[in-house]
Structure 1
Amino acid sequence: MPHDVREWLPPDHLCWKVLDVVDQLDLTAFVHSYRDDRQGRAAYPPQALIALLLYCYSKGIRSSRKIEQACFDDVGCRITTANRRVDHSTFARFIRRHRAALKLLFVQVLAVCARQQGLVNLAAVAVDGSPMEANAARNSNQRQQRLESVISQCEAEVDSMVDHSLELTRSCEAERGTDADSDMAPNEWPRLSRLIDRRNRAVVARQRLFERALPSAEEIRLKVEAAERMVARAEKRLAAASEAHQKKLAKYAARTSADLAAGRRGANGRPPVPMEHKTAIVRQRARLAGAQAWLEQARSPRPVPSPTARASLSDPDSRMMLSKRGGFIQGYNIQIACARRQLLLAIEVQDNPSDMTALVPMVNKTQVNRLAAGIEHPVLLWLADSGYASTSAFEALADLPLLVSVTSEAHQAGFEAKREGQHKMAARLATPLGRQQYRDEVPWWSPDSPNSSNVLDAGSTTADATAWTPRSNFSGRSTTSANSSTTRPEQALDHCRTAVARQPPACPAEAPKTARPGPGRPPGRKNNQPATRYDVHTVGRPGHAKRRTKKSTTPRPRRTG
């Protein structure tokens, strides 16, 4: 082996690429955070720690202790750190101290990519979200009452420790000059640090409960509009009831005056009740007061957590959400804006499992990062799936070339398939140009499945041959051979026909039934609990099961004549 460690790796290794990129970054914010008074031990160069961070994260090593071990047995890490083994606490403190500055490096790396000719292609930018698991267990979620008890318990223990320390200090001062080594208290700083950290995490978790209970701006607008409609209806009903009763009072007064003028005692019948005691008017006034109170509450909502709401005590920023593989995970919802060649333009972490409110912030952040990186070319097309379909998002981004799938499964349940305000987007997707743009960008956007559901959401059908894209086309290569005269749509159509022909029978009754005995039944014995059959040819009354006639055990009489 060569004596120089730098000769152990080839020139095209990832380590050299990372070091070249770090040399192009502006690390002034990191350097200025250290003092230059020649006191204390010299710190590690920020360039080395940032290169170590990027190199290890690119290889999937994110634990500070594993990074410390990699500095010992990984050649790339040894070259990055100049054969120095960085302690895991030093590395963790560096990340915690420069967290804000590390986030700003994203734009600088994007600027480095923009300087490469043809690397940044903004012909289409797709926004998508994916759940990421957090470093917290699902059973760490606690309700507000439990969080309050944890806070009070930690504060009580901290107060008792402080009081005990004060008493011990006073006793030591009173017994100065005597041997008081046996009365010295043990080192309780680790326990005090753990209590304070647990108390702070409980406070942040309680704050997250109140923040999540606060409705969004769109929800507040919808609630205010609904409350205003209720107030308008209540005022209209109150005015109609008051006008009708006022006419009745005027009619009775006119009839009374006419009878008195004629010399009679007065009008016959019971006089109408006064306006303030009319039951219908009192009821409408109460409804109007309730509607006005609801309107005031909708305009200035107060976050009130639900009794069943929970927040994680281990990681308050994480949340319980659905996993793509089924079930639930404790994690985050990672939002990504991606261009071609899987180049990330923006990334955001949120705890809301829904993607509906994330489209506008992601588009705005992408535009900010694009301008900050010096990319002057605008985005020609924005793409998103049906999870981002929102009327408020469409109104806010009306001036952008946006294509969002708005097809849902509501029509199967008898409801309207598209909500109010989404018909313009549906009409834009229904055009030949919209369908072609949305369909052509699916392969590099969602390469998990060749027959993507987003294509069907855009308005195409299974008979549309161009809606299917082979898996090998995700890398940009065509599957049509040079010697074949079959075009790509014809290949796709043949594949769709083959897939449809291989589908299982639609009705379970058409499937063959097994003849072997079930588990727990010996061979040769009758099956008293047969499996349920789905007979589509039997027509019975709805709600009535078919009765099974019991066989008679008595022998039938023989004919003697």
Structure 2
Amino acid sequence: MSTSETKRPEQSVLLDVPEGQRPQRQEETKSSARFSSPRPFREWQPDQGQLLPQYAREVLGEGHLACFFVELVKVLDFSPILGAYTKECGQPPYHPVMMTLLLMYAYARGITSSREIERRCETDIAFRYLTGGEQPDHDTVCAFRVRHLEAFRALFVDTLRVARQAGLEKVGHLSVDGTKMKANASKHKAMSYGRMDEAMKKLDEQVGRLLAEAEALDAQEDERHGKGRRGDELPEEMKNPKKRAERLREAARQVEAEKKVALAVEKEKRRERIGQAKQELEEQARKKAEAEGKSPEEAKPAKKAQYNFTDPESRIMPKGGAFQQSYNAQVAVDADTQLVVAQEVGQSSSDARQLAPMVEQVEANTGLVPEELSADAGYLCQEDIEKVEQKGVECFVAGGRDKHGEEAPPAPRGRPPAGLSFKERMKRKLMKRKLLTKRGRKAYARRKVTAEPVIGQVKNTVLPRFSLRGLDKVRGEFSLACAVHNLKKMWKQGWALPGLAEQAA
């Protein structure tokens, strides 16, 4: 047969037939019958081959958040992270800058699970673009995050340097607030100091009972089979089915004795952990008494002092009418830009004594001193307010909540007498009256649209709860979350990153 007479493939033959007269395959007929409708739809073929752009950045678009994070390589200082790699040994690791951007973008999407990050590196085009096609596993992601926690704190401060170069010229109004963030631990794994002695005594009784029962079973086996024999040997007489059944029952009793011993060992380990927790609480109470100048006799933990065996450094804190294992996260937010300019994580459920450290951290991070400050009644502390006012910052701090049925103070008229002490101002309710003025209401109202929304954005879109355990680790993770929040704010508000505009021109 000649080449011209060679039969063309079936697909080519179908293309020569007018589209309305093309025969439908059996699969196409079934599909059409399943989705039959009088209204025409666009053609849908998931398995149809497509010609995609060669570069993933073209698919995402220049305005995508992943593209913004890649551009940060040109403006952020990654030297604290790169400086951790000094020795050349073993296989080359993943590029630290790539791993940092991967973590930052994952947190920006509200993804903190290392296993979920690993899955996204396989299926999400934005993650694949950030990693350059690399697919680090979850162990690598988790180890990198824990290794560079201190560097993440420096990275947070560096985002404020970038913000200053991009246009943050002053901090006019600073709003300070705190929030209870759930720890990576359950409150059901906690025990109070008052219950520890009782729990240890109960475990002692259980361990003694289990060992006595196991010893009694062993004695019965020794009496039946002789000392030094296991009892599971098969002599000639054990070929008898009746005797074999008796021997199996004896073996079962031996297994039960071994289980009792194992359970006793487990309970003994638990008793030791409770004893260690008791010693740690007593040591904390001793250090606290020394700092307050109290006698050693007074250095005793309160009976309700809690110790969590999963994350000992977390604390049970009130939250929304309930209690949960948490840390207390503090943020100081600039009202004009909603950037977090200072942040910290502590163990105390109270916000007292946090105001002055936040203002000092703002000054250290940005070199700027705020003009005015707002905070709720939890921050009312004479020493802190006096320190802040000495810096020239005008404070609008709530003087406490009005009691039920108490009438509000009259609207203030004229200026308060000069030279009043803090106690005199509080006694005359001048702090509360200050917030009732037109200017005071306006300034204090900014707190509700500054710190509170930012806390909600961080907790709902970046870090819903801590993934790590221990105070130092959660501080590093919260620094990473606040750095990501600041960068997202710059991206959404269209800030021109320093140095990029000149390169584009």
Contact 1:205-1:316 within 8 A present in 2 as well = no
Contact 2:57-2:67 within 8 A present in 1 as well = no
Partner of 1:342, secondary structure, is coil
Partner of 1:128: 177
Deviation at 1:444, TM superposition (A): 3.7
Contact 1:205-1:312 within 8 A present in 2 as well = no
Deviation at 1:30, TM superposition (A): 2.1
Partner of 1:381: 372
Provide, for residues 170-221 of structure 1, a one-character-per-residue CA deviation record: whole Å limited to 9, x for no partner. xxxxxxxxxxxxxxxxxxxxxxxxx99x98999689646754786599x94x
Provide, for residues 368-406 of structure 1, a one-character-per-residue CA deviation record: whole Å limited to 9, x for no partner. 1122xxxxx431111101111122322332323111010
CA–CA distance in structure 2, aligned partners of residues 309 and 434 of structure 1: 40
**1:94 maps onto 2:91 in alignment:** no
Partner of 1:328, secondary structure, is strand
CA–CA distance in structure 2, aligned partners of residues 202 and 74 of structure 1: 48
Partner of 2:153, secondary structure, is helix
Partner of 2:413: none
Deviation at 1:108, TM superposition (A): 0.4
Deviation at 1:428, TM superposition (A): 3.8
CA–CA distance in structure 1, aligned partners of residues 432 and 288 of structure 2: 28
Provide, for residues 318-354 of structure 1, a one-character-per-residue CA deviation record: whole Å limited to 9, x for no partner. 2111113x31221111111011232101111112111
CA–CA distance in structure 2, aligned partners of residues 346 and 413 of structure 1: 36
For 1:133, the aligned partner's letter is: K
Partner of 1:401: 394
Contact 2:196-2:278 within 8 A present in 1 as well = no
Contact 2:342-2:362 within 8 A present in 1 as well = yes
Deviation at 1:7, TM superposition (A): 2.6
Provide, for residues 429-465 of structure 1, a one-character-per-residue CA deviation record: whole Å limited to 9, x for no partner. 35443333324554444469xxxxxxxxxxxxxxxxx
**Bigger relative contact order, structure 1 or 2 (CA pairs below 8 A, ≥6 apart):** 2
Give the 3 Å change call, closer, same or farther, for CA 112–133 of structure 1 in structure 2. Answer: same
Partner of 2:134, secondary structure, is coil
Partner of 1:76: 126
**1:330 maps onto 2:325 in alignment:** yes
Superposed, 1:491-530 pairs within 5 Å as: none
Partner of 1:551: none
For 1:425, the aligned partner's letter is: M
Superposed, 1:39-438 pairs within 5 Å as: 39-117=89-167, 119=168, 122-144=171-193, 146=196, 207=280, 210-211=283-284, 220=292, 297=294, 303-324=299-320, 326-340=321-335, 341-371=337-367, 377-399=368-390, 400-410=393-403, 412=405, 422=426, 423-438=429-444
CA–CA distance in structure 2, aligned partners of residues 336 and 102 of structure 1: 16
**1:27 maps onto 2:78 in alignment:** yes
Give the 3 Å change call, closer, same or farther, for CA 129–358 of structure 1 in structure 2. Answer: same
Provide, for residues 470-526 of structure 1, a one-character-per-residue CA deviation record: whole Å limited to 9, x for no partner. xxxxxxxxxxxxxxxxxxxxxxxxxxxxxxxxxxxxxxxxxxxxxxxxxxxxxxxxx
Aligned-pair RMSD on alpha carbons? 3.9
Length, aligned pairs only: 321
Give the 3 Å change call, closer, same or farther, for CA 65–447 of structure 1 in structure 2. Answer: closer
For 1:18, the aligned partner's letter is: F
Provide, for residues 344-365 of structure 1, a one-character-per-residue CA deviation record: whole Å limited to 9, x for no partner. 0111111211112222222222
CA–CA distance in structure 1, aligned partners of residues 406 and 297 of structure 2: 33
Higher normalized helix content (fraction of residues): 2
For 1:403, the aligned partner's letter is: F
Partner of 1:490: none
Superposed, 1:442-521 pairs within 5 Å as: 442-446=448-452
Contact 2:177-2:452 within 8 A present in 1 as well = no
Partner of 1:503: none
For 1:91, the aligned partner's letter is: V
Give the 3 Å change call, closer, same or farther, for CA 413–215 of structure 1 in structure 2. Answer: farther
Structure whose CA Rg is larger = 1
Unaligned runs of at least 5 residues, structure 2: 1-51, 205-267, 410-421, 455-505
Give the 3 Å change call, closer, same or farther, for CA 204–128 of structure 1 in structure 2. Answer: farther
**Range moving further from structure 2, 307-316 or 3-12:** 3-12
Give the 3 Å change call, closer, same or farther, for CA 424–18 of structure 1 in structure 2. Answer: same
CA–CA distance in structure 1, aligned partners of residues 53 and 126 of structure 2: 15
Q: TM-score, normalised by structure 2?
A: 0.56
Aligned identity (percent) is 28
Provide, for residues 77-125 of structure 1, a one-character-per-residue CA deviation record: whole Å limited to 9, x for no partner. 11111111111111111121111111111010111111112x5651101
CA–CA distance in structure 2, aligned partners of residues 311 and 385 of structure 1: 29
Partner of 2:226: none
CA–CA distance in structure 2, aligned partners of residues 434 and 419 of structure 1: 20
CA–CA distance in structure 2, aligned partners of residues 216 and 411 of structure 1: 37
Contact 2:183-2:326 within 8 A present in 1 as well = yes
Partner of 2:60, secondary structure, is coil
**1:4 maps onto 2:55 in alignment:** yes
Give the 3 Å change call, closer, same or farther, for CA 57–446 of structure 1 in structure 2. Answer: closer
Give the 3 Å change call, closer, same or farther, for CA 441–134 of structure 1 in structure 2. Answer: closer
Give the 3 Å change call, closer, same or farther, for CA 17–406 of structure 1 in structure 2. Answer: same
Give the 3 Å change call, closer, same or farther, for CA 308–407 of structure 1 in structure 2. Answer: closer
